[in-house]
Amino acid sequence: MTRVEVAGVEVSTEHFIGGERAGSDTTFTDISPIDAEPVAEVARGGEREADLAVAAAQEAFPAWGALGTAGRAEVMHRLADLIDANVERLAAVECADMAMLLRSLRARVISRGARNFRAYADLAVAYEERVWESNGTRNRVVRRPSGPAVVITPWNAPFMLSTWKTAPALAAGCTVILKPAEWSPLSCSLLCDLVAEAGFPPGVFNVVQGIGEEIGAALTRHEGVRRISFTGSPETAVHIGTAAARNIVPFTGELGGKGPLLVFADADLEGAARKAAGQYDDAGQVCLAGTRLLVERSVEDAFLELFHRFTDEHVLGDPRDDATTVSPLIHADHLERVEGFVERARANGDEIVRGGRRREDVGPLFYDPTLVIPRSNDSEIVQREVFGPVLTFQTFADEQEAVALANSTRYGLSGIVYTGSEERAERVGRGVRAGTVWVNTFLVRDLTAPFGGVGISGIGREGGDYALDFYSDLKTLQILDGTTA
């Protein structure tokens, strides 16, 4: 077995198929964003590995599905306990691999993975079949696991997002083939070790690593797959959705956002400005971030003064240092993409109010927290997702204009509203076109609530029973009244 030491932790660089580690003929280089240096050579899967992983998932599916919700919950709770016991190891590896702030990983992000497994296991056990009588029959809606599921996850918060997607699939009785992003695969490899230690039967949980256009494409077009769940870009989702449609396979996609952060004059301006400056956390690599600041015109100057004060408090640096608040971007290619957006905005005549430059004095992949005032709402910097430490600033005159601006992009994943009025919170919260709208708060998640986007931000819903239903075939069982054995 090929293992490397990452942040003092031994990590396998091989796939996990049928309960065993498996290599490939070729590898890809995993690079740490902290210093842009190689971390490991990782097994690079393709058609062969896709076939092996799907075959393993197919073989394991009947017994796992037949185990029942209580039996599956027992195994999943053991895994959750192991995640909690290994937070330090998982956090250290993910920080080295993806450069999320180490203190955040330790405090909340990794442990969310344990919460995911416990929550979905318990939800599946607590499921109550819908029962009713009609037309002289007794009726029940029965959940049946759908079969092998492919889960494709992004490079930001890879461990948490992988558990968020695989937990409901496993709880529903599906077997899983997880394809982590090639820019941050290593914490998912550690998850495989914990899966084995928890006693999951071989083939129930599989991980194949590699390039999206290779192993990802092979998995999504495979005829043995019965569900596909993806988080990533709308452009990639088009290819995955097309492949899924060819095999009539249900598909969910959480596809990023361009969230508005609306601030009304009656809001707690200091709280709103602090939260706005907080959108630079994790170098802005958060799909739910409120990247379009929309502020009522009468408080524009007061808000900006506070916003700049709080943004000035940010510290760019090593994500392992507790003093750091803004980490590096994930990869040189992504840094170039973010920089390209800002340079095109500059050329377009949009005003770069602050930032707008690389910070090579800090490290090779850092970009300054940037604020842009666009020439118009049609500017590219307003209309397309940057996924970096870049915010735009616009003003509005009234509630109607605020909602119109909030809804003026093709995205619709999330929105944030700051107001002191309960009535306005209700009106604007309903009016903003998004899958989730927070009022006077941000990133508070209830795992039973539906999660997903509208427009090009996604298709389908995850969370709670919505996720469990997605990974199930729903059967209506009708029995004629008076039927006896």
- The angle that helices 158-172 and 87-98 make with each other, rounded to 10 degrees, is 120
SS3 386: coil
All domains of the chain in start order, with CATH:
3-255+453-477 (3.40.605.10), 259-439 (3.40.309.10)
d(CA 215, CA 201) in angstroms, rounded, equals 24
Q: What is the pLDDT of residue 1?
A: 66
- pLDDT tens digits, 258-299: 999 999 999 999 999 999 999 999 999 999 999 999 999 999
Query: What pLDDT was estimated at residue 33?
Result: 98
| C-alpha span between 59 and 221 (Å, rounded) | 19
Q: Which of 173, 256, 220 is nearest to 453 (CA)?
A: 256
pLDDT number for residue 483:
83
Backbone angles phi, psi at 52, to 5 degrees: -65, -45
Cα–chain center distance at 445: 13
As a three-state string, the secondary structure of 417-478 is EECCCHHHHHHHHHHCCCCEEEECCCCCCCCCCCECCCHHHEECCECHHHHHHHCEEEEEEE
365 neighbors 335 (Cβ within 8 angstroms): yes
Angle between helices 186-198 and 68-85 (to 10 degrees): 120
* 21, 86, 87, 106 from 111: Cα distances, Å: 25, 9, 7, 8
* Alpha carbon separation from 344 to 67, 356, 368, 379 (Å, rounded): 56, 11, 16, 10
Residues 434 and 412: beta-carbon distance below 8 Å = yes
Tens of pLDDT along 345-363? 999 999 999 999 999 999 9
pLDDT of 485 reads 56
Contact at 8 Å (CB) between 184 and 155?
yes
Per-residue pLDDT of the chain (485 residues; tens, 9 = 90+): 699 999 999 999 999 999 999 999 999 999 999 999 999 999 999 999 999 999 999 999 999 999 999 999 999 999 999 999 999 999 999 999 999 999 999 999 999 999 999 999 999 999 999 999 999 999 999 999 999 999 999 999 999 999 999 999 999 999 999 999 999 999 999 999 999 999 999 999 999 999 999 999 999 999 999 999 999 999 999 999 999 999 999 999 999 999 999 999 999 999 999 999 999 999 999 999 999 999 999 999 999 999 999 999 999 999 999 999 999 999 999 999 999 999 999 999 999 999 999 999 999 999 999 999 999 999 999 999 999 999 999 999 999 999 999 999 999 999 999 999 999 999 999 999 999 999 999 999 899 999 999 999 999 999 999 999 999 999 999 999 888 75
Phi, psi of 451 (to 5 degrees): -135, 130
pTM of the model: 0.96
Catalytic residues, by residue number, are 254, 287
- Cα 368 to Cα 283: distance, rounded to the nearest angstrom: 9
